Structure 1
Amino acid sequence: MYFRSITAFCAALLCVGAAHAIQDCELNGESVNPNNGNTTAGKTGLMRCKDRDSGQLAREQELQNGRFMGLDRYYQKGKLQRERNVNERGNNHGLMRDFAPDGTVLYQATYDNGSEVGLTRRNHPSGALQRATYYSGSNQGELAYAELTPRGQLRRLRCGDKPLLAPLVDDAKLCGFGSSPAPVEMFNDAGVLQMRARYANGQRLRLEELYPNGQPERVEEIKDGQRSERRFAEDGVLRAELQWQLDGKTSSKTLEREFSERGSLVREQKWAERRAVSDASFYLNGQPKNRALYSRDGNTEYADETAFYDNGKPSRTGRYIQADRYNQTPVGTHQSFNQQGKLVGEAIYDNRGRISREREWDDAGKLLSDEEVFEDGSRKAYAK
């Protein structure tokens, strides 16, 4: 899409230039004005327009029975800049090429009623291949591409389900078609290795994105029906890990982990069958900090939550009805504990989230209060 935008932008510049420059046009030896349809009505041939001030050729357009169809050329300072063919709708149809002032081909593609089809080539100013792209047509996008640096090194690669880029690029080899998985290295314009990848029959099995020091920044891998992704700090410490279960062309997340700067686990989330199963966080000393276990009973979603002290002892527990990610209703018995693990508080909620009973104990286990709580907030102590 980036290159298509550039192409459209260049075309716009050409049109703007043509609009501001005064041109004299002729067709079959007669003077015509392309902005006045009466002068071109019913005519066939190649219209040639020159800049009035410089006398240099500015454009050539083919007419067929008064309609601009067929060959269409634009010139910059007398040098061919773009050559294309258009159909009766004015859409690109057939071969299109863009040129540098020295005549080097910068872009070459085939169009079908305005859509790129088949193999398209874009070159560096030197004429060396910059990007080979294979389009399916009908604006369905890119099926495969390969980008090369000015040094001729591979920069980016996308494989199709079969080799599509020959003879410009040997994607049969790069993408591992008909052979063992192929290792591929990709570089930036300065020649620094940026990525390593491995493909088999067009599928990317492994990708490593590298820091300038050569350490992995991100590693993505497909193995045994799962896709994993790991992210690292520049010093090599693992900072994040994700896993997906693959099912044909779809995938569902099963695991996500976050790690501290020291590499200790600080959060872990799990999913099964596209539903959250658990969410746990950890102190930097490795002890659990918070844990939520998710379950379902009929149409009701529950979250059983536990918070911990940094010594590993629970500080509070309770169940919630999970209306959505941000709305929870407490239900059942909720308890709180001291750092030694002794029960010091308890609240009982009805199925509407209202407290019906509340009790407190001291650290020695002595009951301090035991009250019934009414809907209006008033309380009544239970008899001892």
Structure 2
Amino acid sequence: MRAPPVIRLVVLSASLLALPSWAVEDCQFKGKPINLDNGNSTAGITGTVRCVDRDTKKESHTVAYRDGKKDGWEVRRWSDGRAVEQEYKANKRHGGFKRYEDGRLLETSTYADDNERGEGVRYHPNGKVSHRVDRQPEDTKSTYADYDDTGRLKEAGCGLQSSREAGIKDCVWKGPSPLVFFHANGQKKSVIPLKNGLREGVTESFDDQGQRTSASSYAAGLRDGLSTVYSGAIPRRSTTYAKGQMEGEETEYFKDGARKLVTTWKDRKKLKRVEYFQNGERKSEFVVTGERAVESQFEDDGSLRQRQALALDEGKHRFEPHGVTESFFPDGGAQSREHFVQGRSEGQRQVWADNGVLVEDSQWAKDRVTARKRWNPDGGLVEDDAFYEDGSRKKRP
């Protein structure tokens, strides 16, 4: 009497994506029942195990073995047209992978030693490629490309963990020049001239209405020359590069196109920063010379309001007041003059009224006033004091 077939309840792995959670199978090997979940049943076998769905009686699962290990293709099929095919070698995923839905190919991939390697492809419902990858052991050498359902390229680049767009240095694009990316509505997203697979010349980007949003000069895959960001055809920011590093002027603009901020770079260091009023006059200026700097503030008519000497505090990684700080009235007359050492008031501080009369003359040590005289604008003395370290006035004898 023939033994009844072994019933196998298969729990599908999450990697099978949206496939039915449960299926009851009857499995046989060379006409005899076999339990694929029992290692003793499959020990040492060579050949193909075949399973049928208990309800439909149709073949639902086949697995190739060699010496008791999966070796060859494992295929699972469902009555609604979904299917998964995975190739194995010595119980490890090795070789091809395919996934179907409604009988239509959705995805292919390649494995090596149980890891995805090499080319992988996903498809749109119309059969056109939607995503293509080439996985390499070193992630930076992996490549990817995304396409819309008409076959137009949406984006492409290198690295699946930390991606870089195609044509950037160390991410060579093997396709034709120019490389063109598209928006979902068919408008061009980027036009990228290439030389030897790297960006060369001016790369332009556009919004989905065809309005230019940026233009950047490249040489051998690195920014080299002027890069400009636009808003409504008006420049909003432009930066000069040399071999991938900011070198020269970086300019930010007001909405009307007038300069707002100009920063000068050299060797990755900020040498000068000039901020402007919208009327074109300077608002502030910061100029660096080695470890010293001068910062100036201006009124909107161009007159100097304040000028301050600074020195680099390497511990704080910033410039602190060091030297003379002066402020001025709109007519150019002196309003105040004080001395700093490493960010602290140190030495003499003087203040004038707008009629030119000295109204304060004080001495400071480490941000603390030690002596102070004050006068009315008409010259009358109103204070003449010395101070203790706690800030209290010294009593007169």
Task: State the TM-score, normalized to the length of structure 1.
Answer: 0.78
For 2:68 and 2:173, how far apart are their aligned partners in 1? Answer: 40
User: 2:350 matched to which residue of 1?
Assistant: 359
**Any stretches of 5+ residues in structure 1 without a counterpart?**
1-9, 166-170, 175-181
User: 1:230 matched to which residue of 2?
Assistant: 228
Task: Map Cα deviations across residues 77-119 of structure 1 (whole Å, 9 max, x no partner).
Answer: 26462222123363x32122222323x3333333322444444
Task: Map Cα deviations across residues 15-55 of structure 1 (whole Å, 9 max, x no partner).
Answer: 88576333332223222222221222222222233333333
Rg bigger for which structure?
2
**Any stretches of 5+ residues in structure 2 without a counterpart?**
1-11, 158-165, 380-397
For 1:260 and 1:123, how far apart are their aligned partners in 2? Answer: 45
User: 1:101 matched to which residue of 2?
Assistant: 102
SS at match of 1:59: strand
- Give RMSD over aligned pairs: 3.2
State which of 25, 33, 36 in structure 1 corresponds to 2:35: 33
For 1:121 and 1:227, how far apart are their aligned partners in 2? Answer: 37
For 1:274 and 1:164, how far apart are their aligned partners in 2? Answer: 29
What amino acid maps onto 1:361 in structure 2?
W
For 2:112 and 2:64, how far apart are their aligned partners in 1? Answer: 18
Question: Per the alignment, do residues 48 and 141 of structure 1 end up closer, same or farther by CA in structure 2, a change over 3 Å counting?
Answer: farther
Q: Aligned runs of 1:124-273 on 2, under 5 Å?
A: 124-135=124-135, 137-141=136-140, 143-158=142-157, 159=166, 171=175, 174=176, 182-205=177-200, 206-223=202-219, 226=224, 228-233=226-231, 235-246=232-243, 251-254=244-247, 255-273=249-267
SS at match of 1:363: coil
Aligned length: 349
Question: Per the alignment, do residues 32 and 243 of structure 1 end up closer, same or farther by CA in structure 2, a change over 3 Å counting?
Answer: farther
Q: Does 1:318 align with 2:308?
A: yes
User: 1:371 matched to which residue of 2?
Assistant: 362
SS at match of 2:294: strand
Question: Per the alignment, do residues 193 and 81 of structure 1 end up closer, same or farther by CA in structure 2, a change over 3 Å counting?
Answer: same
Task: Judge conservation of contact 2:203–2:218 (CA < 8 Å) in 1.
Answer: no
User: 2:23 matched to which residue of 1?
Assistant: 21
What amino acid maps onto 2:242 in structure 1?
Q
Q: Report the Cα offset of residue 164 of structure 1.
A: 7.7
For 1:193 and 1:226, how far apart are their aligned partners in 2? Answer: 23
Q: Report the Cα offset of residue 184 of structure 1.
A: 4.3
Question: Per the alignment, do residues 20 and 37 of structure 1 end up closer, same or farther by CA in structure 2, a change over 3 Å counting?
Answer: same
Task: Judge conservation of contact 2:205–2:214 (CA < 8 Å) in 1.
Answer: yes
SS at match of 2:178: strand
What amino acid maps onto 2:147 in structure 1?
L
Task: Judge conservation of contact 1:306–1:317 (CA < 8 Å) in 2.
Answer: yes
What amino acid maps onto 1:256 in structure 2?
E
Which of the pair is proportionally richer in helix?
1
